[in-house]
Amino acid sequence: MKRTIFDQDHDDFRSSVRAFIAKHISPNLERWDSEGLIDREAWKAAGEAGLLGIAVPSEFGGGDNPDFRFRMVQMEEFARVGANSFNAGTSVQDDLVIPYLADLGTQDQNSRWLPALCDGTAIGALALTEPGAGSDLQGIRTTATRDGVDWVLQGSKIFITNGILADVVIVLAKTAPESGARGMSLFIIPSNTPGFRRGRKLEKLGLRSNDTAELFFDDLRVPSDSLLGVEGRGFVHVMERLPRERMSIAATAVAAAMAAFEWTRGYCFERHAFGQAIGNFQATRFTLAEIATDLDAGISFLDRAALLLNDGELSAVDAAKAKYWLSDIHNKIVDRCLQLHGGYGFMLEYPIARAYADARILPIFGGTNEIMKEIIGRDIAAHAESN
């Protein structure tokens, strides 16, 4: 499929991303998977290469370019070499943590954290999920109570991407538990704060080298200027930023599906059985045809949504549709691609096996796809009732 969404600037950027990956990422992928952790040096190298904080204003050390297509280029190039764990970590940094700070932070907060997040000397995490509250954020139990001019946090979080390496964590806590969704606030928590404790580095099915952790806050005391945004509007702040997060997941899904198809197409015409390339069997050709068509539809869907995001016109419902459908189609494509690899597809030395394991989280990330369907369904019902 010929894509018209990218121009020469994006193509030039793609070349620089490929050079960065060849030098700093590809040689380390197997070791990182084995160790279960990505070197901090890779983050610093990404910052030096201008791959972090692309949308951040230049006064805070960023690229001053909010065009989401540059992020899409990165995701495609990371997926092309199977660097899904590094993509997951940098997506949290660039599509979650940095936008929260850039949109909601004070001048002092942004001056302190954004330059370090952009140059890779600081790694960020977003701590929303708790053991008893995943997609239902209103069920969180972490609290922040005033004590003089300070806030004191108590509670825990789970499944926090970048949790082991994070230097700064944005935490959602209840500041007025009796007020429900209107009683939540966001806080900027440096990880060296007394009372901040990391739990286990969690063992996952996929994204093996991306660090995912439990976090604990034990009488964690922070000053009043640690509040991010408006007190009591933490839940609203999160809801307002979910479309960007879900677009990041959708773009990751398409990038990974594209990579899986390219690996599989090559394999099918290199691998021979019964005297010919397996790609010449009708059953294989039909499967490849189905994958190619699904992929073209997915790319078109994503590209349209990306342009809407750039124009500030992507609705929460549209983002939910993109996240749900594209992550589902990604899993469907990767499953078919693994099948075409036969027994080799089950071997971790082949990238399709790792991609298969990495794919499964995307329908869960950022709100499960069942929640996405509920968001879409409620919108349909609301419009039906108003007509």
CATH, range 236-386: 1.20.140.10
Is the pLDDT at 1 greater than 70? The verdict is no
| Residue showing tokens 């509007």 | 233
Mean pLDDT score, 316-335: 98
| Residue showing tokens 């991407």 | 161
Instruction: Please tell me the number of Cα atoms within 13 Å of 271 on its side-chain side.
Output: 16
Share of the chain above pLDDT 70, in %: 100
Looking at 245, 290, 349, 374, which residue is catalytic? Answer: 245
pLDDT band at 133 (very low <50, low <70, confident <90, very high): confident
The domain made up of 125-232 has a fold known as: Butyryl-CoA Dehydrogenase, subunit A; domain 2 (2.40.110)
58-72 pLDDT per residue, tens: 999 999 999 999 999
Ramachandran area for residue 150 (φ above 0: left; ψ -120 to 50: alpha; else beta): beta
pLDDT band at 359 (very low <50, low <70, confident <90, very high): very high
* Structural domain boundaries in the chain: 8-122, 125-232, 236-386
245 is catalytic: yes
Task: Please report the pLDDT score of residue 135 as a whole number.
Answer: 82
Question: For 166-222, what is the HEC assignment?
Answer: CCEEEEEEECCHHHHHHHEEEEEEECCCCCEEEEEECCCCCCCCCCEEEEEEEEEEE
Specify the DSSP class assigned to residue 154.
Answer: E
pLDDT band at 132 (very low <50, low <70, confident <90, very high): confident
The domain made up of 8-122 has a fold known as: Butyryl-Coa Dehydrogenase, subunit A; domain 1 (1.10.540)
